[in-house]
Amino acid sequence: KRPRGRKPGGGGGRRSSLEPCRGRRAGDPPALPPNPQQKQPLDIEPDRPIGYGAFGVVWSVTDPRDGKRVALKKMPNVFQNLVSCKRVFRELKMLCFFKHDNVLSALDILQPPHIDYFEEIYVVTELMQSDLHKIIVSPQPLSSDHVKVFLYQILRGLKYLHSAGILHRDIKPGNLLVNSNCVLKICDFGLARVEELDESRHMTQEVVTQYYRAPEILMGSRHYSNAIDIWSVGCIFAELLGRRILFQAQSPIQQLDLITDLLGTPSLEAMRTACEGAKAHILRGPHKQPSLPVLYTLSSQATHEAVHLLCRMLVFDPSKRISAKDALAHPYLDEGPVKPKAFTISSLLGGTPKACTGWHNLCWAEPLRPAKTAIHRHA
């Protein structure tokens, strides 16, 4: 049984208004639309907006069906452009597919009774009171046990995702939800995708918040692996120890410079997938020696074992970066095996709709409700 720290502080998210619905006051959360088995909309008891993202606002609400407090995410206007259609569909499928203690999953997906009214999506998930960003910037002291418990859960959730062939591609403190018992869940799968094994297939570079972006993406690599998520975890680990962002730059170029200030000038082998412009930028500058011992100054909790694991995560060459599985076996942490089946979305691997109307119909027709075949992690 893992140690549990004291309850971290944290409050609600920033407020954000919702478009008023017919028959309701401006600023009120909407009545839930009926699901296919119901004739009347569900009436909810609103609490407050607790957060928002690129695809909608999240409310704390009471589910009238059982009286439990849950989170309701309203995703409006999701079928207006092709990029949004693909990302929303992919996120919904993943939320319904995954079942793990440290990965957020959907409790329900609510739809109107007819596709003609299907312009927004409502996702019901477990209610989490805070996130790691709010905890890090709060005055709440974090013990060594806090840091270990949070890091352990992040890696445990990532091990599960990676073993299912999924790259999250946006691991950051704000996407790591935490409840009052210090249970952590990875959320926001809007940028997640199935791992691309064919290195000749180009992958988008418009992923990962800059402060947590791996050097191979900063250097223009057109193909990358799940090692980009491990780099992000390393940045978060350092942030938990030091209570400040490790690489806080104003631009991607400056971000890369801060990384080389710490790790030293990378070898040509480590830059083998970088674009020529990025290589030229590195080689034009002065040769830098590694300054990794500075990590010991992050805090008194930056012990030898902690810094050793951190250095295994913050490796310039992604092929030499530690995996989530090996990180959990590190002396600083350890964990048992997780073996889910591979995650696939057949409709995304084969032919895909070329217009928003196609995705609209697909989201309507697909069984997006949590399925009985979803992966369960009981340990």
Query: pLDDT tens across 309-354, in order?
Result: 999 999 999 999 999 999 999 999 864 444 444 444 443 434 566 6
Contacts of 361 (CB under 8 A, 6+ apart): 115, 353
Answer whether residue 2 is part of any domain: no
How far CA 84 is from CA of 54, 223, 342, in Å, comes to: 10, 22, 25
Together in a domain, 369 and 323: no
Together in a domain, 16 and 136: no
Q: What pLDDT shows up at residue 370?
A: 55
Together in a domain, 75 and 115: yes
Q: What pLDDT shows up at residue 19?
A: 33
123 DSSP assignment = E
Q: Which of 366, 369, 341, 344 is nearest to 100 (CA)?
A: 341
Answer whether residue 335 is part of any domain: no
Answer whether residue 15 is part of any domain: yes
Q: What pLDDT shows up at residue 347?
A: 39
Q: Find the catalytic residue in 63, 108, 131, 170.
A: 170
Beta bridge partners of 196: none
120 DSSP assignment = E
Domain that holds residue 55: 8-128+344-379
Answer whether residue 81 is part of any domain: yes
Q: Which of 378, 371, 321, 318 is nearest to 343 (CA)?
A: 371
Q: For residues 343 and 93, what is the distance between their CA atoms, to the nearest angstrom?
A: 10
* Inter-residue long-range contacts of 27-36, CB under 8 Å, 24+ positions, other chains counted: 29/59, 29/61, 29/72, 29/74, 30/74, 32/72, 32/110, 32/122, 33/110, 33/111, 33/112, 33/117, 33/122, 34/110, 34/112, 34/113, 35/108, 35/110, 35/111, 36/111, 36/113
pLDDT in tens, 10-22: 433 333 322 323 3
Q: Where is the domain boundary, 328, 354, 369?
A: 328
Together in a domain, 289 and 370: no
Together in a domain, 241 and 371: no
Return the C-alpha torsion angle 225, 229, 230, 232, nearest 10: 140
CATH code assigned at 150: 1.10.510.10
Q: What pLDDT shows up at residue 73?
A: 85
Quote the mean pLDDT of the chain. 78
Together in a domain, 288 and 175: yes
Q: For residues 175 and 300, what is the distance between their CA atoms, to the nearest angstrom?
A: 26
**Orientation angle between helical segments 144-163 and 227-242, nearest 10 degrees:** 170
Contacts of 1 (CB under 8 A, 6+ apart): none
Let me know: does 102 contact 154? Beta carbons within 8 Å: yes
Which helix H or strand E contains 184, and what residues bound it? strand 184-186
Q: Please confirm, yes or no, whether 317 is among the known catalytic residues.
A: no
In terms of Cβ atoms closer than 10 Å to its own Cβ (0-12, 13-18, 19+), residue 139 is exposed
The two counts, helices (H) then strands (E), for the chain are: 11, 10
Query: Coil, strand, or helix at residue 347?
Result: helix
Beta bridge partners of 193: 167
Together in a domain, 153 and 111: no
CATH code assigned at 58: 3.30.200.20
Answer whether residue 333 is part of any domain: no
Consult the annotation and say whether 73 binds a ligand: yes
Q: For residues 38 and 117, what is the distance between their CA atoms, to the nearest angstrom?
A: 15
Together in a domain, 153 and 263: yes
Together in a domain, 14 and 92: yes
Q: For residues 273 and 225, what is the distance between their CA atoms, to the nearest angstrom?
A: 12
Query: Residue ranges of the chain with pLDDT lower than 70?
Result: 1-46, 53-56, 117, 197-207, 334-379
Answer whether residue 323 is part of any domain: yes
Q: What pLDDT shows up at residue 207?
A: 60
- Count structural domains, the chain: 2
Q: What pLDDT shows up at residue 213?
A: 92
Together in a domain, 118 and 95: yes
Answer whether residue 334 is part of any domain: no
Together in a domain, 122 and 145: no
Answer whether residue 336 is part of any domain: no
Together in a domain, 29 and 92: yes
